[in-house]
Amino acid sequence: MSFYTISAGALNGLLLGGLYACMALGLSMVFGVMRFINVAHGELLILAAFLSFVFSTTFGLHPLVAMLALIPVLFVLGYVMQRTLINPLMGAGLEPSLLTAFGLSIIAQNLMVEIWGGNTKSLNTAYAEMNAKIFGIDVPLLYIMSFFAGIVVTVGIHLFITRTYTGRAIRAATQDAATAMTMGINVNNIYAITAAIGAATAALGGTLIGMTFSFTPTTGFPWLLKGFVVVVLGGMGNIIGTLAGGLILGLSEGIGAAFVGTGYRDMIGYIIFLLVLMFRPTGLFGHKGSE
């Protein structure tokens, strides 16, 4: 095992961690505010990938341009779904909300199969096969893009939550929803806005997934699991921690794959996930609240 092989695995894994952070941010936000695991998040990611595919093949849009068009679409979709389907069930405990999200996941998956079929698809770009050299190591250009996208979006959401009125309202609802309501905050609206932001980040994460990997209507669940690993590593609901969790997972997978082969890449992430749950259940950067 050469030093170059290990270094290449580590660098590529670290950069890929930016994509992991992008696709897990929405999952982290929703859990941080509502203590609710959105099991339909994986389908949102794949829906974004398919819609980007449609915009690219039908209208000739570049996938990144298609992604910009998808952000408001998924924002509205996330808001409406949360406000009409999930919010009315929040007072009845987590089980009804979780089952509803699970049902939405199944419906979305089957609709995608009916519309686009079960064949594998990908978002082709002129630079999909292009590499750059960093410290003499070949790195896919898409990995570099994903890395910086993860940093920019994470910092942007962090600033939104900490510097804006709506962000402070989200934090208040996270800490104590009942007290927030007495202060005049519309908690149901805050929950819907949070879900909408989470869905909007899925537009970015899903498009990057489609540009970097192939996808089918059934690949949402594996990405949901990977997103859950990222969120647990970084601390449930911790936005900056989600970025750190994505980078840690990518780095671990990259180094581990250099030793045991790429076929065991996912297994390495799940082993780390179990170890963190055993010894630090709140995550490596976990604390109460979203930020």
Each residue of 177-197: pLDDT tens digit?
A: 889 898 889 999 999 999 999
Residues 6 or more apart in contact with residue 75 via CB below 8 angstroms: 196, 197, 199, 200
% of the chain exceeding 70 in pLDDT: 98
Report the interhelical angle of 63-81 vs 41-59 (nearest 10°).
140
User: Higher pLDDT residue, 247 or 260?
Assistant: 247
Is residue 286 over pLDDT 70? no
Say whether pLDDT at 93 is over 50: yes
- pLDDT at residue 265, as a whole number: 82
Contact 32, 170 (CB under 8 A): no
Mean pLDDT (whole number) for 29-52: 93
Least confident of 145-149, 225-229, 262-266: 262-266
Please give the Cα distance from 92 to 77 (Å, whole number).
23
**CA separation for the pair 217, 119 (Å, rounded):** 9
What's the whole-number average pLDDT of the chain? 90
Distance between first and last Cα of the chain: 41
Which range in 201-210, 256-265, 270-279, 282-291 is most confidently predicted, on average pLDDT? 201-210
Tokens of 31: 């859990």
Mean pLDDT of 21-45: 92
* pLDDT single digits (tens) 226-236: 999 999 999 88
CA distance 137 to 139: 6
Which value, in Å, is the radius of gyration of the alpha carbons in the chain?
A: 19
On the CB side of 270, CA atoms within 13 Å amount to 8
What is the rounded distance in angstroms from the CA atom of residue 91 to the CA atom of residue 143? 42
Question: What H or E segment, with its residue span, contains residue 185?
Answer: none
CATH number of 3-116+141-279: 1.10.3470
More confident residue, 194 or 287: 194
Grade residue 290 by pLDDT with cuts at 50, 70 and 90: very low
Which H helix or E strand runs over 55? helix 41-59
Predicted confidence at residue 289, as pLDDT, reads 43
Beta-sheet strands, E only, within 46-136 = 131-134
